[in-house]
Amino acid sequence: MKILSQGHLSTCNHSKSKHAKVYLQGLTLIELLSTVSIISLVVAMGIPKMDQWIQQKTEESVLKSLFHLSVYARTEAIKATDYFTFCPTENRISCGGSWNKEIMIFKDSNKNETVDEDDVLFKLINLPESAPCIKWNLKKRQYVQFKPSGASNGTAGHFRYCEEGDSLIHKKVIISFNGRTSMRKL
């Protein structure tokens, strides 16, 4: 009988021992059950944490998107020396609707919160379906408007989640009267 050992062929002489011991490798039932039990415990403990992690990352992503969109609208207003409006939309023409669906940024020369013939739509953003409810604190004005100087056109306020208790990150995006945007803890 030839056995492959460390890359060399060698001959095994069975004439010296009549009883060769055969060792089988494998797992016993107890070892297998222990391994399965430990794996299921680790998975069961990790799934709730994974859900929280996904919710936290979604919340951070949405607030960062609002932050960057606000900065973008302000920058474009300064560059174009014209009024720019940043708002939610349902019809891609006028401002209105929910902040956690579709958001548009457009040049709004006549300041009427509507994309007219002379206006230019610069960005149209769809937030993810899993985005939590977002609230702009000015109920009468569901838009943010920037002057050619970069200052806010009477629309200073903040974005936050509708239910603060459900939020994992506890932050808000603030737009000041001078048009600067910041993110702060609640």
Closest-CA residue to 121 (of 148, 135, 103): 103
Domains of the chain: 59-185 (3.55.40.10)
Q: What pLDDT is recorded for position 156?
A: 86
Average pLDDT for residues 146-164, to the nearest whole number?
A: 86
Mean pLDDT of all residues belonging to the chain = 83
Q: Does the pLDDT value for residue 8 go beyond 50? A: no
For residue 165, pLDDT beyond 70 = no
Task: Give ∠ CA 154-73-169 in degrees, rounded to 5.
Answer: 85
- Rounded CA separation 93/113 (Å): 9
152-177 mean pLDDT: 82
Q: What percent of the chain is predicted at pLDDT more than 90?
A: 37
Neighbours of 112 (CB within 10 A): 13
Q: What is the pLDDT of residues 83-137, one digit of tens each?
A: 999 999 999 899 988 888 889 999 999 999 999 988 899 999 888 777 778 888 8
Instruction: Give per-residue pLDDT as tens, 14-27.
Output: 555 566 676 667 77
pLDDT at 13: 52
Q: Which of 67, 110, 112, 105 is nearest to 86 (CA)?
A: 105
